Amino acid sequence: MRENHYVPVGKYLRRVTRPGRYVGREWNIPDKDFAGADVQMAMAFPDLYEVGMSHLGLRVLYEVVNGLPYAAMERVMAPAPDLEALLRADRAPLFTLETNRAVGDFDLLGFSLQYELCATNVLNILDLSGIPLRAENRDERHPIVIGGGPCVYNPEPFAPFFDVFLIGEGEEALPELLTLYRETRPGKSKAARAAFLKELAGRKGFYVPSLYEEKNGAVTPRDGAAPVVVRKRYIADLDNVSFPRKPLVPHTEIVHDRGVIELFRGCVRGCRFCQAGMIYRPRREKSVPTLLADADAVIASSGYDELGLLSLSTMDYSGIDPLVTTLTERYSGRGVSLSLPSLRMDAFSVELAQKVQKVRKGTLTLAPEAGSQRMRDIINKNINEDDIVSTAAAAFANGFRNLKFYMMIGLPHETDADIDAIRELLLKVKRSVGRGLNLGVSIGTFVPKAQTPFQWYGQEGEESVRGKQRALKSWAKGQKGIRLSYHDFETSFLEAVIARGDRRVADVIERVFTLGARLDGWSEYFRYDLWQRALAETGVDGVFYASRRFDDDAVLPWSHISCGVSREFLLREKNKAVAAAVTPHCYDDVCSGCGIGCRKAGEKK
């Protein structure tokens, strides 16, 4: 067990703007001897507390590890600039929320990598913890640094900073890793550490970058020391997996300040741009009795007056009607509301939303994604204009005055006519509904992601994207009741650079961190000029990485990582997009043969 160093956190709390981020000791902290556990792990969410504490995955793993008799997990979040400055002035280390112990003292340090622009926060946490940024410079004195989350489906831009990546879901894999750590004690010597990592690399779902090398764009194992392809882990039975029924209740407001239950994982839809829809396959549901028990426990133990029903496409849960009906009957009289993420484009979804929001009516979110039918077919959205307009009209008729639309520009095969179609669609919705509708439209820029049918495409160039944004913005100024917002091009561009990069991009991330970049996902902290300087100083062409288009037979920077969906299926979907041909959703009777193995191709459901 490593030596313990503790940080006197109280001396800093009066000197920061939001001390609630660092107090810890929230309601429902487990009754556990954190410092006395045989294996001790710090889990880092590389963003501010209010974001990290809103993430269900972090809470799930916290429940799993702290349920083990021999292990303990404590949390650490990215510090805001005011606390960072105080810690650096005092040469004090970053600390965990549970015991205020120095992060560098732990056996293991995990990171949840949810967003590419968290990269500099990862390095800041390592640096403030006294841990060498690059794995090659660590030894038995340092924690094993682990990465997980959606970003690891192309881990290469992060690879030099991590000892190991966990590909897939962690409820079973993480205890396996902790057990191996307990048995082998890699903190004993450098040789023991290397042996631990080599043993781990031989197990499904674990990628150890130091055992691989990159040559001519291909990442391959050195001397056959590890698998050629690392395949993801996933949980088959969600009814028998840990879930935080006594969630931590923060002292301060967080982004999603409510209780949550998870209905299912995976997605029956096959949107060709969507990474989550591919990497979280297969679709696995919890039963209604399990969800009702989860809901009862969460509300009883937390005091929340809102319960979120979470999944990638919540309305596709097979038991959504009886679940919502029962929860509404059980809780509406107690002032507890239910919340749904974005709705499916049909009247049934609106009816359920009406039922759900009897307590408090809010904004309904719909995701048409594209304005023209041709473009919706290209991305395999499987909805038509009548679906969109009639759903919006039904929502308004049921008392919803505020609607939010998600749209996207810069998609493969997009033309000016498709941009015009966005305007036409919004006008049709307004004309159909009439006066009184407030339509907020969020317009994102397409970022090609690994493990999707669109992974072979590049991102559209800056001049073209900005031209489309200007045209839509100019048009919207004269439209009453329509408000447009945009994702700025700079962050979308950098997201693409990292999402499609190789290990050379790690040099950019390290350099921009040393220049002072932090919290790049927050507009008030984002410094694009620092990223431009880092790209120039490292000689890395960001435009090349963001916009390069791969041949169908190219070896991709992430070809050694498998999410379970076959390359053949992704290519078929890419080619169907060229023809604007759609693929039925998984629940539409026929399996498309994506390769994940939940059903044989062509078999009837």
Q: DSSP labels for 443-480?
A: EEEP---TTSTTTTSPPPPHHHHHHHHHHHHHHHTT-T
Which pLDDT score is estimated for 400? Answer: 84
Chain centre distance of CA 287? 24
**For range 440-446, the mean pLDDT:** 96
CATH 3.40.50.720 assigned to domain 361-487? The reply is no
Residue 150 dihedral angles phi and psi, to the nearest 5° = -65, -30
Which pLDDT score is estimated for 474? Answer: 93
List C-alpha distances in Å: 213 to 228, 389, 411, 450, 572. Answer: 11, 52, 33, 19, 30
Above 60 in pLDDT, residue 601? no
DSSP 94: P
Query: Average pLDDT over the chain, rounded to whole?
Result: 93
**Nearest Cα to 233, choosing from 209, 202, 203?**
203
Above 50 in pLDDT, residue 602? no
DSSP 2: P
The β-bridge relationship of strands 164-166 and 206-207 is: antiparallel
Using pLDDT thresholds of 50, 70 and 90, give the confidence band for residue 498.
very high
**For range 542-552, the mean pLDDT:** 97
**For range 356-360, the mean pLDDT:** 60
- Where along the chain do the CATH 3.30.750.200 domains lie? 361-487
Above 80 in pLDDT, residue 246? yes
Give the SS3 label for residue 220: strand
Residue 358 dihedral angles phi and psi, to the nearest 5° = -65, -35
Above 60 in pLDDT, residue 603? no
- Where along the chain do the CATH 3.40.50.280 domains lie? 10-231
In the CATH scheme, what is the code of domain 10-231?
3.40.50.280
Higher pLDDT, 346 or 565: 565
Helices (H), ranges, 337-460 = 347-356, 373-378, 385-397, 416-433
Token pair belonging to 96: 């965990």
Distance CA 16, CA 272 (A): 44
**pLDDT tens digits for 50-91?**
999 999 999 999 999 999 999 999 999 999 999 999 999 999
**355-362 long-range contacts, Cβ below 8 Å, gap at least 24?**
355/324, 355/325, 355/328, 356/324, 356/328, 357/400, 358/328, 358/332, 359/332, 359/335, 361/399, 361/400, 362/402
Say if residue 463 is exposed, middle or buried (CB neighbours under 10 Å; 0-12, 13-18, 19+).
exposed
**pLDDT tens digits for 248-276?**
999 899 999 999 999 999 998 899 999 99
Above 80 in pLDDT, residue 343? no
Q: What percent of the chain has pLDDT over 70?
A: 97
Using pLDDT thresholds of 50, 70 and 90, give the confidence band for residue 491.
very high
**pLDDT tens digits for 273-330?**
999 999 999 999 999 999 999 999 999 999 999 999 999 988 899 999 999 999 999 9
Judged by phi (left if over 0) then psi (alpha if -120 to 50, else beta), residue 25 lies in left
Above 60 in pLDDT, residue 337? yes
Which pLDDT score is estimated for 362? Answer: 64
**pLDDT tens digits for 89-144?**
999 999 999 999 999 999 999 999 999 999 999 999 999 999 999 999 999 999 99
pTM recorded for the entire structure: 0.95
Using pLDDT thresholds of 50, 70 and 90, give the confidence band for residue 361.
low
Which pLDDT score is estimated for 359? Answer: 46
Distance CA 203, CA 196 (A): 11
Q: How many other C-beta atoms can be found within 10 angstroms of the C-beta atom of residue 217?
A: 12
What is the amino acid identity at position 41? M
Which pLDDT score is estimated for 351? Answer: 80
Distance CA 395, CA 511 (A): 49
The number of C-alpha atoms within 13 Å of 469 and in the hemisphere containing its C-beta is 18
